[in-house]
């Protein structure tokens, strides 16, 4: 645990105690600024061990302290300041905390605490985005009173000690099984854009989060992953091949090409069913009165994959407002998909844009399972579990 120079540093001993209660052995580092807010004595008492300080780093010793401390399974930065974020985002190593962070191999969790004006500053935002892109995790800051005088109610307040401890324990859980090793997984995500003229298009509010979650889970389980995505506002995932597309026809070409070597194809993309019959080369000026646009159907990619299925497992998604299970089962049968995850566009906090999802697994034979509402990542995990079951079943038959 690294404790940063923030008012929230006073909560660090409480986080330390909770982690120790959770059975975690914690080495603690305090930056010079942190020691202005919390004493070395209270940190070492809570950690039941010495505190790594810059003074200790520079005292003669047989090993390099930053390397010894970096042999941790995970790092958490409590009361992460703008300064620490900037240092880490730019590879600085001018104090023990930053030098250790440069050497840590395990996951890194930042728990920022700073005034909301600072947190919302573009420089801080850019540093956070950079660290996220490198796979660092972030917890908070939460919305709430910040500082002793409650100044700047808004973003800025650090997550509570129990939340931080729970997040660290989650990071330390055994890593995902490598049960997709050697498999190629193709995932489509996000919306398509069907241009009518050079500046106007038909699209939908798909965020791409579900597809990205499937791609990332497959990657973490050892698969080679091709993620074909429409325009979305999500950080670039690392360690997988990302193919960016616009229109459904481009999505089709990219998915069909990637699917040639695929073992599992998951179609989460919200494909526009229609495109303009004629794409106007020039911007269409407005005219008096009504206008109509002639639309023509897009190819159904999942159905096309289903016609030439080979040994692949095919998974679709569907959104229904009524008769969900029957319609989804009919869809799975029609498209020759192994199963479809049905979700409900009208549920708050799920499906379009949300971080959670509540889905029903529907097979072509009409059998179904309601899954509990959970994170999209957890839905992704269960989806891939089911795809592996289908694959094993097919090999057994």
Binding ligand CTP by CB under 6 A: which of 180, 264, 269, 314? 269
First to last CA, the chain: 51
Query: Is 84 annotated for ligand binding?
Result: no
Nearer to ligand CTP, 25 or 260 (CB): 260
Binding range to ligand CTP, per CB under 6 A, among 111-119, 234-242, 296-304, 374-382: 296-304
Nearer to ligand CTP, 115 or 268 (CB): 268
> Is 298 among the catalytic positions?
no
262 binds ligand CTP (CB under 6 A): no
What distance separates the 2 farthest-apart alpha carbons in the chain?
83
Would you say 227 and 276 are in contact if contact means Cβ atoms under 8 Å apart?
no
319 binds ligand CTP (CB under 6 A): yes
Query: Roughly what angle, to the nearest 10 degrees, separates helices 96-103 and 82-89?
Result: 40
Binding range to ligand CTP, per CB under 6 A, among 24-32, 64-72, 111-119, 314-322: 314-322
Nearer to ligand CTP, 248 or 361 (CB): 248
Binding ligand CTP by CB under 6 A: which of 250, 300, 356, 378? 300
Question: What stretches of 245-394 adopt beta strand conformation (E)?
Answer: 264-267, 274-276, 295-297, 313-319, 339-343, 356-357, 359-363, 368-370, 374-375
CA distance 100 to 95: 9
316 binds ligand CTP (CB under 6 A): yes
CA distance 216 to 224: 10
**Residues present in the chain in total:** 397
387 binds ligand CTP (CB under 6 A): no
Cis peptide before 141 (omega within 30 of 0): yes
Nearer to ligand CTP, 100 or 343 (CB): 343
Binding ligand CTP by CB under 6 A: which of 302, 342, 379, 380? 302
Q: At closest approach, how far in Å is the CB of 303 from ligand CTP?
A: 7
CA distance 311 to 13: 55
271 binds ligand CTP (CB under 6 A): yes
Q: Which of 204, 233, 298, 308 is catalytic?
A: 204
The answer for 156, left when phi > 0, alpha when psi is -120 to 50, beta otherwise, is: left
328 binds ligand CTP (CB under 6 A): no
Residue 333's H or E segment, with its range, is helix 324-335
CA distances from 369 to 121, 289, 329, 340, 382 (A): 46, 49, 12, 11, 12
CA distance 138 to 140: 6
281 C-beta neighbours (distance < 10 Å), count: 7
**Taking the mean position of all CA atoms in its chain, how far away is CA 46?**
33
Query: Is 331 annotated for ligand binding?
Result: yes
Binding ligand CTP by CB under 6 A: which of 301, 351, 361, 362? 301
250 binds ligand CTP (CB under 6 A): no
119 binds ligand CTP (CB under 6 A): no
Q: At closest approach, how far in Å is the CB of 269 from ligand CTP?
A: 5
314 binds ligand CTP (CB under 6 A): no
Q: At closest approach, how far in Å is the CB of 54 from ligand CTP?
A: 54
Query: Is 280 annotated for ligand binding?
Result: no
CA distance 325 to 25: 48
Binding ligand CTP by CB under 6 A: which of 267, 314, 342, 364? 267
Active-site positions read: 204
Please enumerate, by residue number, every residue annotated as part of a binding site for CTP. 273, 283, 299-302, 317, 331, 335
Provide the binding-site residues for ligand CTP, judged by CB under 6 A. 248, 267, 269, 271, 273, 298, 300-302, 316-319, 331
């Amino acid at each position: 645990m690294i404790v940063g120079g923030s008012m929230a540093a006073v909560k660090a001993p409480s986080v330390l105690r909770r982690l120790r209660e959770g059975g975690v052995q914690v080495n603690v580092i305090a930056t010079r600024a942190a020691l202005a807010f919390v004493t070395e004595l209270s940190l070492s008492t809570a950690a039941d061990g010495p505190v790594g300080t810059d003074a200790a780093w520079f005292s003669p010793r047989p090993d390099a302290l930053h390397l010894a401390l970096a042999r941790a399974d995970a790092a958490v930065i409590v009361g992460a300041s703008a300064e620490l974020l900037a240092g880490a985002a730019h590879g600085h190593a001018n104090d023990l905390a930053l030098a250790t962070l440069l050497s840590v191999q395990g996951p890194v969790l930042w728990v920022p605490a700073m005034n909301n004006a600072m947190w919302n500053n573009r420089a801080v935002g850019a540093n956070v985005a950079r660290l996220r892109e490198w796979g660092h995790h972030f917890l908070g800051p939460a919305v709430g009173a910040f500082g002793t005088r409650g100044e700047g109610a808004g973003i800025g307040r650090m997550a509570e000690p129990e939340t931080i401890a729970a997040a660290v324990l989650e990071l330390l859980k055994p890593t995902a099984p490598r049960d997709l090793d050697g498999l190629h997984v193709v995932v489509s995500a996000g919306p398509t854009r069907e241009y009518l003229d050079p500046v106007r298009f038909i699209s939908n509010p798909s965020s791409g989060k579900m597809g990205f979650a499937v791609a990332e889970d497959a990657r973490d389980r050892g698969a080679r992953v091709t993620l074909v995505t429409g325009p979305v506002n999500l950080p670039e995932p690392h360690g997988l091949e990302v193919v960016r597309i616009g229109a459904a026809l481009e999505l089709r070409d990219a998915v069909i090409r990637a699917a040639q070597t695929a073992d599992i194809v998951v179609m989460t993309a919200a494909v526009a069913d229609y495109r303009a019959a004629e794409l106007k080369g020039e911007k269409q000026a407005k005219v008096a009165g009504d206008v109509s646009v002639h639309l023509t159907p897009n190819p159904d990619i999942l159905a096309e994959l289903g016609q030439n299925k080979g040994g692949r497992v095919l998974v679709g998604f569907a959104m229904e407002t009524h008769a969900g299970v029957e319609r989804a089962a009919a869809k799975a049968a029609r498209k020759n998909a192994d199963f479809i995850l049905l979700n409900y566009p009208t549920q708050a906090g799920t499906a379009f844009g949300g971080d959670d999802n509540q889905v029903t697994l529907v097979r072509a034979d009409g059998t179904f399972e309601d899954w509990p509402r959970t994170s999209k990542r957890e839905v992704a995990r269960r989806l891939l579990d089911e795809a592996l079951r289908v694959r094993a079943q097919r090999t057994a038959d």
